[in-house]
């Protein structure tokens, strides 16, 4: 078996070029084979034959049948020397043999292998050399001093489309996927050092490309090095797409990924399960990638015939992967005989290090629905799993912290040993919904869990936040359990009054624990935060707790007002720096030293992957980047798409590994093994990032290709980013020079000084004055000692100005009149018509004093940014929603390729205050026993106007399932006079236990809807009495027929509702005893009273009976209290003394008389 190091080295072997000895067409001089391609070299051209699977192919085993298609891409060097000398270079160890058929004359043996093939003088003074590493094919053009690199022209045939993407790559689209020539690297050797030269591809025609070369020393040789790679993802062509949910990495940098796939052609290698579990099924997958990312070490399906997903993955000390997830398959692969319980169970699986063997695999669940979401594995191979369950029979162990389900859906935490045996397992939750999402452990085996909760009674200990953030809020919970799962060490809510979510939890080397997630609540709790809460959407949060939760060290937010940023995974490096990934549509999210400084500009790109590194103390961020593509060629035009990061890991060298799902066909890839995006619904992706912090500035891109625009029109902004390193940078000047400098324009945010780690941008546009190619140079002069002058080539093209269309817009103004604040008016219509003979494009923006108070919605068949055909028309519905009182004005601005653009429509209206208010906003009823009715609480409806009568008043109550709120009294009639008020009284009668809610709505002549919320918690009735002072009554001896002094017994109502009770006495001598009490007919919760028992024996001897105290409420009986009662009956007795008196004779002082006798008689 190959070691990890050997596998990594194997992925870096060079391509081997074979001379043609009759094994292929005679025109071919040399050929080489790589993953999915064969490359042929002839005197006239090079030929790339690509293989790729047609969607629907069943497996890789069908590589040579009809499910495989082939594309041929031909690359000619236009105008090149067809007689160039072709030489092999660097003989490699090994030979190639072909034993084809039974005819020995067709066999070819002992064919040598070479690392490189050189074409001499393909152009005057220019050689070309072909070679490859790690499956990548590379071509170097070596330009002699004084020779012109501009003569190099690559002409392509067999490509459906040729374009240069935003990353500077040359993309050739074929039937089997996109082939990319990576952004070229240009350099010169100066005194033994490699100095890079700015350069880029430039399209010369629809199928021909050359190079744009920046300033360089023409007295020295120049090397141009484009690299041929594949656009690679991890997935197949399934209709539902493939998703990478979690990632782990070993010390050698090999990544383990799990997720879900419904693709029959998901890539497999050395698979334990080589095929999807059934037609239409979705399975989990487990994939191990080489350290270079260019090869699969193993890849396997894991699942049955229904729906299965891998949600978490972790490694033990021998790199055996443990996977947690959920399954609905009755035939999920397992190593025990336990059947699927309910409709969905969690699962826990352990694979051998090579992925070929199930070491253990079992369902984890009860009788309803269960899901395992997170897993962690310690150095002894113990696995910690968390998730959520709705099952009352979820497998828990004795003595744990929470042995039973407390709400409708609770989290769980379970520990298993290295053989899969249960060590302990507990519920974790309160009276509503709680879901465990991520789990971690420390060196003492304390267990840390995070997730989300909607329970008002979630178990807490020494909390940072002691209550749920608000009505219907969803908060994060953070909990630490002791090593045996029997007690809480720490537990807290973390969140505000809206919906916040947990993304992951990790524990650092000092037993501090860090939680990441996303904060939607405007009042999310922050401590030492890098920024305030964004006004719109979510921000990611990172919160760090001291050991045992003794304090919150920081709780910081990160994002931007331009959109939402949501964390989905968190990891640590050896320095305890914190890494977070997730998804964002915040186009202005802060970046630092980014791989990709801005997200895709596509209007259909809904979300991008992001990666952020924070300092361990949360005081700053060290690295931040976007990662996404800009199109989905497999989806219908106009479809939206997203790239989402779901899992993150960091290796000992601080390399960052991310997995998730990508729906873009141009997602950035390097050293990849899969040809292209296969499913319009997305494939999983795996990325490895090695960020570096340099002393000097990084200026990107080295060449700027601006859009092609019409003469006199201005292009969209293209951005050059200066990312400063660790030194302060002084900028002397930023300017544009060159042949067409007057057509280019730049503005920048750089100023004269950039301190360490600061990023600034240069925005460049072009406004062509003539049609045709345009070139210039962006010159940056600064204090960087290595490159004091950076010259960035600028290129663009001008096209003849398009024919101007005609657009009629009617009316020219709209007036809305009075409208209540925050209430939208009925729409008014603006008509757009094209009376001309060419289509016009139209976009709509708002300007003026109050642009946000007015909105326009295009009607069929046109849309903002779309086209109106000649002779056609469409409408725009305009509504007025004032944000404040008083006069509100704005302009609707219609822009496009028509005469007079832009055309303005003036809009106006008056904002007036609302006149109806409903107070308070919420009524809280607290705990109420099921099937009992609370005291009434009231809303007050007030007419705040001093002149207008409120009319057409209608009150409505909407109650959620399981709870009953009722209007017990309503003093509001259909009208309400100025400055008057009325009340709406509500009672709460829960029908089931648990939290319940409802809302009251009032509609009336005020256009604004008045709404008040209701909440309460139903409790199952508990009828429980507790005896005080004694558990038995003993009277001793009592004369027959006489009554004893009463014996008192205290009773306490420890239930949650008023009780009625009975006190029957039974047994052989029940008639000897009587019971009275001071309790009355009913006893309220928490009250006590006295029960008195007397004894009147009816006969001689022991007299025994039993006193039973029965309690009940609302049809529920309590547990009876049973007391023993005892006493002894005796006959009445008489006694006499004789004589009745004694008289002693005189007696000397100090002497003793003779005794006299008294007789005591029992008669």
- Segment 1097-1143, tens digit of pLDDT: 999 999 999 988 888 776 677 778 888 899 999 887 666 778 878 88
pLDDT band, residue 35 (cuts 50/70/90): low
Residue 734: CB atoms within 10 Å: 19
What is the DSSP code string of 262-320?
--TT---BS-SS-S-SSTT-BEEEEEEE-TTSSSEEEEEEE--SSBEEEEEEEE-TT--
List % helix, strand, coil for the chain (3-state, nearest 5): 0, 50, 45
Residue 137 in this model has a pLDDT that exceeds 70? yes
- Which residue's entry shows tokens 């030979």? 95
> Hey, what are 920's tokens?
């308070």
Are 434 and 451 in contact, with CB atoms under 8 Å apart?
A: yes
Helix H, strand E, coil C: the string for 16-68 is CEEECCCCCCCCCCEEEEECCEEEEECCCCEEEEEEEECCCCCCHHHCCCCCE
Residue 190 in this model has a pLDDT that exceeds 80? no
Mean pLDDT calculated for residue range 860-888: 85
Are 391 and 365 in contact, with CB atoms under 8 Å apart?
A: yes
Q: How far apart are CA 867 and CA 700, in angstroms?
A: 35
What is the DSSP code string of 567-622?
EEEEEE-TT--EEEEEEE--TT---BS-SSSS----TTEEEEEEEEEE-TTSS-EE
3-state secondary structure of 1001: strand
Tell me, what's the pLDDT at 810? Answer: 95
- Which residue's entry shows tokens 């309503």? 970
Mean pLDDT calculated for residue range 333-344: 86
DSSP state, residue 562: T
Residue 638: CB atoms within 10 Å: 8
What is the DSSP code string of 747-778?
EES--SEE-TT-EEEEEEEE--SSSEEEEEEE
Q: Which domains does the chain have, with CATH numbers?
A: 11-52+68-225 (no CATH), 315-656 (2.120.10), 698-799 (2.60.40.10), 808-909 (2.60.40.10), 916-1019 (2.60.40.10), 1025-1136 (2.60.40.10)
3-state secondary structure of 657: strand
Q: Which H/E stretch holds residue 517?
A: strand 513-519
Residue 403 in this model has a pLDDT that exceeds 90? yes
Q: How far apart are CA 668 and CA 687, in angstroms?
A: 9
Residue 476 in this model has a pLDDT that exceeds 90? yes
DSSP state, residue 901: P
- Which residue's entry shows tokens 């109550």? 957
- Which residue's entry shows tokens 């809303």? 939
Tell me, what's the pLDDT at 620? Answer: 85
- Residue 53 phi/psi, 5-degree rounding, is -80, 135
Q: Is 1090 left (phi over 0), alpha (psi -120 to 50) or beta?
A: beta
Considering only residues 145 and 1041, tell me which one the structure prediction assigns the higher pLDDT.
1041
Tell me, what's the pLDDT at 487? Answer: 96
375-401 pLDDT, tens per residue? 999 999 999 999 999 999 999 999 999
- CA dihedral defined by 942, 945, 947, 949, rounded to 10 degrees? -40
Are 71 and 96 in contact, with CB atoms under 8 Å apart?
A: no
Contacts 24+ apart (CB under 8 A), 90-94: 90/114, 90/115, 90/116, 91/115, 92/14, 92/16, 94/16
- Please return the burial class of 884, using the count of CB atoms within 10 Å of its CB with bins 0-12, 13-18 and 19+: exposed
Q: What percent of the chain has pLDDT over 90?
A: 36
Contacts 24+ apart (CB under 8 A), 833-837: 833/807, 833/808, 833/868, 833/872, 833/873, 834/805, 834/806, 834/807, 834/808, 834/868, 834/869, 834/870, 834/871, 834/872, 834/873, 834/898, 835/806, 835/808, 835/871, 836/805, 836/806, 836/870, 836/898, 837/870
1087-1097 pLDDT, tens per residue? 778 888 999 99
Residue 887: CB atoms within 10 Å: 11
Strand 789-799 relative to strand 704-710, pairing = parallel
pLDDT band, residue 1022 (cuts 50/70/90): low
Tell me, what's the pLDDT at 860? Answer: 64
Tell me, what's the pLDDT at 271? Answer: 60
Please tell me which of 253-262, 427-436, 1144-1153 the model is most confident about, judged by mean pLDDT. Answer: 427-436
Considering only residues 558 and 662, tell me which one the structure prediction assigns the higher pLDDT.
558
- Residue (of 750, 674, 795, 734) closest to 199 by Cα position: 795
Tell me, what's the pLDDT at 66? Answer: 33
> Hey, what are 73's tokens?
């891409």
Residue 741 in this model has a pLDDT that exceeds 70? yes
> Hey, what are 802's tokens?
């398009």
Residue 69 in this model has a pLDDT that exceeds 50? no
3-state secondary structure of 188: strand
- Residue (of 557, 538, 690) closest to 607 by Cα position: 538
pLDDT band, residue 488 (cuts 50/70/90): very high
pLDDT band, residue 216 (cuts 50/70/90): confident
Mean pLDDT calculated for residue range 145-155: 87
Are 596 and 645 in contact, with CB atoms under 8 Å apart?
A: no
pLDDT band, residue 107 (cuts 50/70/90): low
Q: Which H/E stretch holds residue 4?
A: helix 4-10
Tell me, what's the pLDDT at 223? Answer: 74
- Residue 884 phi/psi, 5-degree rounding, is -160, 170
Strand 242-249 relative to strand 255-261, pairing = antiparallel
Residue 425 in this model has a pLDDT that exceeds 50? yes
232-291 pLDDT, tens per residue? 345 555 566 677 889 999 988 888 999 988 877 766 666 667 676 777 788 888 888 877
Q: What percent of the chain has pLDDT over 70?
A: 84
Q: How far apart are CA 308 and CA 266, in angstroms?
A: 15
Q: How far apart are CA 692 and CA 649, in angstroms?
A: 17
DSSP state, residue 936: P
Are 1114 and 931 in contact, with CB atoms under 8 Å apart?
A: yes
Tell me, what's the pLDDT at 230? Answer: 25
Tell me, what's the pLDDT at 676? Answer: 54
Average pLDDT over the chain, rounded to an integer: 83
Are 246 and 312 in contact, with CB atoms under 8 Å apart?
A: yes
Residue 61 in this model has a pLDDT that exceeds 50? no
- Which residue's entry shows tokens 């303005």? 904
- Residue (of 116, 146, 142) closest to 226 by Cα position: 142
What are the CA-CA distances from residue 373 to residues 518, 621, 824 (Å)?
17, 28, 43
pLDDT band, residue 525 (cuts 50/70/90): very high
CB within 8 Å of 238: residues ≥ 6 apart: 261, 262, 263, 264, 266, 282, 679, 681
pTM given for the model = 0.50
Considering only residues 716 and 792, tell me which one the structure prediction assigns the higher pLDDT.
792
Q: Which H/E stretch holds residue 781?
A: strand 772-782
Residue 59 in this model has a pLDDT that exceeds 50? no
- Residue (of 793, 743, 746) closest to 768 by Cα position: 743
Residue 222 in this model has a pLDDT that exceeds 50? yes
- Please return the burial class of 973, using the count of CB atoms within 10 Å of its CB with bins 0-12, 13-18 and 19+: exposed
Residue 962 in this model has a pLDDT that exceeds 70? no
Tell me, what's the pLDDT at 324? Answer: 97
């Amino acid at each position: 078996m190959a070691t990890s190091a050997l596998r990594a080295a194997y992925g870096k072997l060079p391509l081997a070029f074979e001379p043609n000895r009759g094994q292929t067409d005679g025109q071919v001089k040399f050929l080489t084979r790589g993953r999915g391609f064969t490359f042929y070299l002839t005197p006239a051209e090079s030929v790339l034959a690509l293989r790729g699977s047609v969607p629907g192919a069943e497996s890789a085993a069908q590589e040579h049948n009809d499910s495989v298609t082939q594309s041929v891409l031909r690359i000619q060097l236009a105008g090149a020397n067809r007689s160039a000398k072709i030489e092999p270079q660097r003989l490699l160890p090994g030979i190639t043999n072909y034993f084809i058929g039974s005819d020995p004359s067709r066999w070819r043996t002992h064919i040598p292998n070479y690392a490189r093939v050189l074409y001499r003088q393909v152009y005057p003074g220019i050689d070309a050399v072909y070679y490859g590493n790690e499956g990548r094919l590379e071509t170097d053009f070596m330009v002699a001093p004084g020779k012109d690199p501009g003569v190099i022209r690559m002409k392509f045939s067999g490509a459906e489309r040729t374009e240069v993407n935003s990353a500077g790559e040359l993309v050739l689209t074929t039937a089997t996927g996109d082939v990319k020539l990576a952004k070229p690297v240009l350099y010169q050797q100066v005194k033994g050092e490699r100095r890079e030269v700015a350069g880029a591809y430039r399209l010369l025609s629809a199928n021909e490309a050359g190079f744009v070369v920046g300033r360089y020393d023409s007295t020295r040789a120049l090397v141009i090095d484009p690299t041929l790679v594949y656009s690679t993802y991890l997935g197949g062509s399934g209709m539902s797409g493939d998703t990478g949910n979690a990632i782990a990495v070993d010390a050698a940098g090999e990544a383990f990924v799990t997720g879900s796939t419904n693709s029959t052609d998901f890539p497999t290698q050395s698979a334990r399960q080589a095929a999807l579990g059934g037609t239409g099924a979705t399975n989990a997958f487990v994939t191990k990638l080489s350290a270079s990312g260019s090869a699969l070490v193993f890849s396997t399906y894991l699942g049955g015939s229904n729906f299965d997903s891998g949600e978490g993955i972790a490694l033990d000390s021998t790199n055996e992967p443990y996977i947690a997830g959920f399954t609905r398959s009755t035939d999920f692969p397992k190593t025990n005989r336990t059947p699927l319980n309910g409709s969905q169970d969690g699962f826990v699986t352990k694979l051998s290090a090579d992925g070929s063997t199930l070491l253990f695999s079992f369902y984890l669940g009860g009788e309803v629905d269960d899901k395992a979401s997170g897993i962690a594995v310690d150095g002894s191979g113990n696995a910690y799993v968390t998730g959520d369950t709705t099952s009352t029979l979820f497998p828990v162990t004795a003595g744990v912290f929470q042995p039973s389900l407390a709400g409708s859906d609770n989290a769980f935490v379970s520990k298993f040993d290295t053989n899969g045996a249960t060590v302990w397992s507990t519920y974790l939750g309160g009276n509503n919904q709680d879901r465990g999402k991520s789990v971690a452990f420390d060196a003492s085996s304390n267990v840390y869990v995070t997730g989300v909760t909607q329970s008002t009674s979630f178990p807490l200990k020494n909390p940072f936040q002691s209550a749920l953030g608000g009505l219907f809020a969803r908060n994060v919970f953070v909990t630490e359990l002791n090593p045996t799962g029997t007690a809480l060490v720490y537990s807290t809510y973390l969140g505000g009054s809206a919906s916040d979510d947990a993304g992951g939890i990790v524990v650092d080397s000092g037993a501090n624990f860090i939680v990441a997630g996303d904060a939607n609540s405007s009042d999310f709790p922050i401590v030492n935060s890098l920024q305030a809460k964004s006004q719109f959407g979510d921000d990611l949060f990172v919160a760090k707790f001291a050991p045992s939760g003794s304090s919150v060290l920081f709780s910081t937010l990160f994002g931007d007002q331009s959109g939402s940023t949501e964390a989905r995974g968190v990891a640590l490096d050896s320095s305890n720096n914190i890494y977070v990934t997730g998804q964002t549509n915040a186009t202005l999210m802060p970046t630092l030293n980014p791989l990709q400084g801005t997200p895709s500009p596509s209007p259909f790109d809904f979300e991008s992957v992001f990666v952020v590194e924070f300092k361990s103390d949360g005081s700053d961020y060290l690295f931040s980047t976007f990662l996404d593509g800009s199109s989905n060629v497999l989806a219908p035009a106009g479809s939206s798409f997203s790239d989402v990061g779901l899992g993150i890991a960091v290796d000992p060298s601080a390399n960052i590994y991310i997995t998730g799902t990508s729906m873009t066909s141009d997602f950035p890839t390097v050293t990849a093994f899969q040809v292209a995006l296969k499913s319009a619904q997305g494939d999983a992706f795996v990325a490895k990032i090695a960020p570096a912090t340099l002393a000097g500035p990084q200026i990107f891109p080295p060449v700027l290709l601006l859009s092609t625009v019409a003469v006199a029109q201005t292009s969209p902004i293209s951005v050059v980013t200066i990312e400063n390193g660790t030194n302060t940078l002084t900028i002397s000047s930023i300017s544009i020079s060159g042949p067409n400098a007057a057509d280019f324009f730049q503005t920048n945010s750089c100023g004269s000084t950039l301190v360490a780690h600061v990023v600034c941008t240069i925005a460049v546009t072009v406004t062509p004055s003539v049609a045709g190619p345009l070139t210039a140079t962006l010159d940056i002069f600064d204090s960087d000692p290595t490159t004091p002058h950076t010259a960035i080539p600028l290129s663009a093209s001008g096209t003849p100005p398009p024919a101007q269309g005609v657009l009629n817009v009617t009316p020219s103004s709209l007036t809305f009149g009075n409208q209540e604040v925050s209430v939208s008016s009925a729409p008014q219509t603006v008509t757009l018509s094209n009376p001309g003979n060419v289509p016009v494009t139209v976009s709509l923006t708002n300007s003026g004093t109050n642009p946000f108070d007015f909105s326009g919605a295009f009607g069929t068949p046109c849309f903002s940014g779309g086209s109106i055909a000649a002779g056609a028309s469409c409408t725009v519905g305009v509504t007025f929603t004032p944000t404040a009182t008083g006069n509100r004005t704005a302009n609707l601005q219609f822009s496009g390729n028509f005469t007079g653009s832009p055309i303005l429509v003036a809009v106006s209206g008056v904002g007036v205050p609302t006149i109806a208010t409903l107070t308070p906003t919420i009524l809280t009823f607290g705990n109420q026993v099921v099937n009992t009715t609370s005291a009434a609480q009231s809303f007050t409806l007030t007419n705040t106007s001093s002149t207008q009568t409120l009319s057409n008043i209608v009150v409505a109550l909407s109650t959620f399932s399981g709870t009953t709120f009722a209007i017990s009294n309503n003093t509001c009639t259909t009208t309400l006079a100025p400055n008057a008020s009325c009340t709406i009284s509500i009672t709460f009668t829960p029908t089931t236990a648990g939290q319940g809610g409802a809302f009251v709505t009032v509609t009336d002549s005020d256009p604004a809807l008045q709404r008040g919320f209701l909440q309460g918690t139903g409790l199952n009735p508990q009828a429980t009495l507790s005896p005080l002072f004694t558990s038995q009554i003993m009277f001793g001896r009592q004369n027959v027929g006489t009554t004893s002094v009463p014996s008192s017994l205290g009773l306490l109502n420890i239930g949650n509702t008023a009780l009625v009770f009975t006190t029957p006495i039974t047994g052989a001598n029940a008639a000897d005893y009587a019971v009275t009490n001071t309790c009355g007919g009913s006893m309220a919760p928490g009250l006590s009273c006295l029960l008195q028992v007397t004894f009147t024996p009816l006969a001689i001897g022991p007299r025994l009976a039993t006193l039973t105290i029965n309690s009940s409420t609302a049809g529920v009986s309590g547990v009876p209290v049973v007391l023993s009662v005892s006493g002894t009956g005796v006959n009445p007795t008489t006694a006499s003394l004789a004589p009745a008196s004694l008289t002693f004779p005189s007696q000397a002082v100090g002497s003793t008389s003779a005794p006299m006798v008294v007789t005591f008689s029992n008669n």
